[in-house]
């Protein structure tokens, strides 16, 4: 009996990955991106489910995520999407058979020093910078120098090269990134290195540009039953397996005119029951991404949402689900609690189960993830992050 937990429908996870595998050509492999606790679903458990469905290639951002997978018995290639920080991390990655990302000549120099010291084979992928401005080689001369240095170390095996698309919704820029990537691959081949695995298609690219699949796609968001940011037309039968649950801690009846919460920001317009939930902003409730607006139209929409929320318009209020019905969260969200307004006519008691909306990637990692089995016949709505925007309060980013 948890006070709060996240239910993951195991069958839905299986159905999502099978829908994607069925869409892939036979000569294109799937690399499952399970970074950030598998987008909030639970790193190890999600990887185990995907492994059962035949997935053998994995991607995470940080070394600790990769080691957690390997320690749990996950086999196959585990790729770091970011370079290791220092020689100690590089040695640890090699010891756990993690595939390293090299994104600069500094990375290559450090790697060569490390393998010379440990005399242990290591696999690497080249990261090419084509427009995201994060990690990656940019100039042909850099790639040529890196290739020459790597070829002097037989312990280093180049098993892939990749880039990350910045804006899948912009066809012209995405095509330009793709061309830059292929030119970089050609430079590597001329220098004597032919990476057997090439990947640049994240979830957005996968949905829009089949010619960019190459021989591997790198997907995370779609595997989680959610479309990436932007507008997509797709017949993929995705479902959302994620359900954040809690239980009512207490209930009291209050008269009309009662104020709720800090600063008394909400006043009851009629008599109501007020339920206390043991979930607050420290758990991720009410938090969502707050990146800079993408132009005046996007800024206008953000401001309008804030105004409509402030005015109490129902559609723009944060709500919870109880027995299939939605009820509004009222007043300021506390650090560890929240208040919900319920009608006096509703028969309800403490410990009643409640489903709350919390963005998957912002849900606290210490909340138990409970994987449940069973038939899931009702197709859930697949939303984008923009559509699920409640109140922008912190900054974050969406990737694969």
Residue 398 reports pLDDT greater than 90:
no
Residue 8 and residue 369: Cα distance in Å, rounded?
7
Nearest 10 degrees: Cα torsion 150, 152, 155, 156: 10
Burial class (CB in 10 A: 0-12, 13-18, 19+), 261: middle
Residue 124 and residue 196: Cα distance in Å, rounded?
11
Residue 314 reports pLDDT greater than 80:
no
- Tell me the domains of the chain and their CATH numbers: 10-224 (3.20.20.10), 242-372 (2.40.37.10)
**What's the distance, Cα to Cα, between the start and end of the chain in Å?**
34
**DSSP conformational letter for 316:** G
Q: Annotated catalytic residue: which of 2, 252, 262, 270?
A: 262
**Angle formed at CA 8 by CA 6 and CA 10, multiple of 5 degrees:** 160
Query: Coil, strand, or helix at residue 348?
Result: coil
Residue 381 reports pLDDT greater than 60:
no
**DSSP conformational letter for 314:** G
Q: Where are the beta strands (DSSP E) in 103-258?
A: 122-127, 156-162, 197-201, 216-219, 242-247, 250-254
- Could you read off the pLDDT of 266-311 as tens digits, one per residue? 999 999 999 999 999 999 999 877 777 778 887 887 788 778 776 7
pTM, two decimal places: 0.87
- Could you read off the pLDDT of 95-141 as tens digits, one per residue? 999 999 999 999 999 999 999 999 999 999 999 999 999 999 999 99
90-94, 106-110, 287-291, 364-368: least confident range: 287-291
Bridge partner list, 77: 57
Contact 311, 241 (CB under 8 A): no
Q: Annotated catalytic residue: which of 35, 127, 245, 360?
A: 35
Query: Coil, strand, or helix at residue 182?
Result: helix
Nearest 10 degrees: Cα torsion 346, 387, 42, 329: -30
Mean pLDDT of 350-362: 95
What lies within 8 Å, CB to CB, of 17 at 6+ separation is 30, 32, 49, 50, 53, 55, 223
Residue 257 and residue 26: Cα distance in Å, rounded?
64
- 127 in active site: no
- 2 in active site: no
**DSSP conformational letter for 382:** P
């Amino acid at each position: 009996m948890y006070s709060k937990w996240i239910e993951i429908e195991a069958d839905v996870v299986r159905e999502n990955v099978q829908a994607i595998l069925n869409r892939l050509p036979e000569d294109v492999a799937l690399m499952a991106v399970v970074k950030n606790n598998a987008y909030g679903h639970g790193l190890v458990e999600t990887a185990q489910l995907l492994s059962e469905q035949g997935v053998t290639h994995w991607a995470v951002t940080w070394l600790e995520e990769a080691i957690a997978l390997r320690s749990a018995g996950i086999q196959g290639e585990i790729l770091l999407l970011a370079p290791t920080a220092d020689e100690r991390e590089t040695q640890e990655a090699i010891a756990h058979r993690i595939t390293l990302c090299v994104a600069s000549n500094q990375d290559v120099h450090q790697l060569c020093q490390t393998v010379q010291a440990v005399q242990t084979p290591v696999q690497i992928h080249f990261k090419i910078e084509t427009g995201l401005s994060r990690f990656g080689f940019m100039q042909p001369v850099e790639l040529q120098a890196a290739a020459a240095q790597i070829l002097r170390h037989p312990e280093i095996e180049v098993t892939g090269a990749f880039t990350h698309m910045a804006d899948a919704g912009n066809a012209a820029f995405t095509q330009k990134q793709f061309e830059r990537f292929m030119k970089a691959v050609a430079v590597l081949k001329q220098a004597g290195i032919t990476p057997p695995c090439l990947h640049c298609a994240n979830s957005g690219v996968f949905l829009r540009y089949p010619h960019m699949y190459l021989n591997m796609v790198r997907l995370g968001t779609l595997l989680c039953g959610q479309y990436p940011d932007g507008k997509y037309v797709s017949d993929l039968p995705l479902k959302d397996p994620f359900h954040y649950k809690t239980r009512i801690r207490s209930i009291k009846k209050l008269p009309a005119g009662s104020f709720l919460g800090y600063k008394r920001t909400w006043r009851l317009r009629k008599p109501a029951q007020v339920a206390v939930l043991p979930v607050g902003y420290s758990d991720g409730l009410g938090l969502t991404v707050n990146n800079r607006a993408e132009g005046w139209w996007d800024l206008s929409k953000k401001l309008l949402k804030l105004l409509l929320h402030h005015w109490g318009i129902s559609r723009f209020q944060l709500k919870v689900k109880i027995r299939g019905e939605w009820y509004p969260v009222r007043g300021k969200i506390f650090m560890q609690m929240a208040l919900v307004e319920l009608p006096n006519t509703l028969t309800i008691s403490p410990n009643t189960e409640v489903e709350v909306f919390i963005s998957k990637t912002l849900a606290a990692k210490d909340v138990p993830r409970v994987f449940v089995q069973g038939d899931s016949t009702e197709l859930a709505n697949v939303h984008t992050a923009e559509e699920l925007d409640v109140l922008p309060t912190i900054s974050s980013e969406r990737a694969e």
